[in-house]
Amino acid sequence: MDTGIAPTRSNLMRIRDELAFSRLGYELLDQKRSILVSELLTLVDQAVDYQNRVEKALGEAQKSLEDSIMHMGRLRLGNLAGAVGITSEIELGRRKVMGVQLPKVHTSFSGQGPFFSPEGTSMLSEVAIEKYRDALTLMGQMAELKVSIMRLSREVKKTIRKVNALEKLVIPDKEETMKYLEGRIEESERENFILLKSVKDRLERTQTQEEVQQ
């Protein structure tokens, strides 16, 4: 509570307006917090799902590569790897959730198989390429989710701090200051009323005495 403010009606109106503004800010920030937390929980659920999908995809890709090595031999498969003409491109976009910029990651590949001559090679190598390509796509989406989760988490913490500050410090302080000013103004008005009544009574007595003397 700020007791250094002069107890005037203009200051009381100013504090009342600041209190109304603080309450409105609290309501808006509380809504923002709810929306951000809801979005964060949704992304966390998605991240858990994508984590499992990435692990499964990498496991399948590794298994396909091992099968290719067993079928063709490590040296021959390594020599054929130079024939793979695949280029990748990562496109970064963004979206906003309550003012928070979140990334959007899109992974694309150019180059379609088959990359090897069917003679003396195994289709297992083509399967391994497809599996790794799928895994990389999922990893890009996983990265999008993790960065989004980190940014939303930071914003949620900032918003919670602001909400708590308004709820526990700013609004109670404004309310106490307003009550203090109201009390001081009422007290001052009572004192003025008593003073005026006293002056009026004195004037009336003086007037009565003058009339008696006349």
| Mean pLDDT score across all residues of the chain | 83
For the cut 70, the answer to whether the pLDDT of residue 204 exceeds it is: no
Q: Where is pLDDT greater, at 118 or 79?
A: 79
pLDDT class for 118, splitting at 50, 70, 90? low
- Domain range spanning residue 54? 10-176
For residue 5, the model assigns a pLDDT of 76
Q: Tell whether 63 is covered by a domain.
A: yes
Question: Token pair of 149, please?
Answer: 């989760």
Residue 209's pLDDT is: 67
pLDDT value, residue 132:
85
**Reported confidence tier of residue 79, pLDDT bands at 50, 70, 90:** low
On whether residue 66 sits in a domain, the answer given is: yes
Residue 11 is predicted with a pLDDT of 83
Is there a domain that residue 201 lies in? no
Domains held by the chain: number:
1
Cβ atoms of 130 and 114 within 8 Å: the answer is no
Taking the C-alpha atoms of residue 57 and residue 44, their distance in angstroms, rounded to an integer, is 20
In the chain, % of residues over pLDDT 90? 40
Q: Per-residue pLDDT for 14 more than 80? A: yes
Burial string for 110-145 (b: 16+ CB within 10 Å, else e) reads eeeeebbeeeebbebbbbbbebbbbbbbbbbbbbbb
Residue 2 pLDDT grade (very low, low, confident, very high; cuts 50, 70, 90):
low
Q: What is the average per-residue pLDDT within 138-150?
A: 93
Q: Is residue 103 part of a domain?
A: yes
Flag whether 210 is in a domain.
no
pLDDT for position 201 = 66
Q: How far is CA 130 from CA 57, 72, 86, in A?
A: 10, 18, 11
In this prediction, residues 69-94 reach a mean pLDDT of 74
Instruction: Tell me the mean pLDDT in the region 79-99.
Output: 78
CATH of the domain at 48: 1.10.287.3240
Q: Is residue 72 part of a domain?
A: yes
* Reported confidence tier of residue 197, pLDDT bands at 50, 70, 90: confident
Find the helix or strand (DSSP H, E) in which 62 lies: helix 9-72
Higher pLDDT pick, 12 / 167: 167
Is 169 a domain residue? yes
Mean pLDDT comparison of 7-16, 111-120, 143-152, highest-scoring range: 143-152
For residue 205, is it within any domain? no
- pLDDT tens for 27-71 read 999 999 999 999 999 999 999 999 999 999 999 988 888 887 887
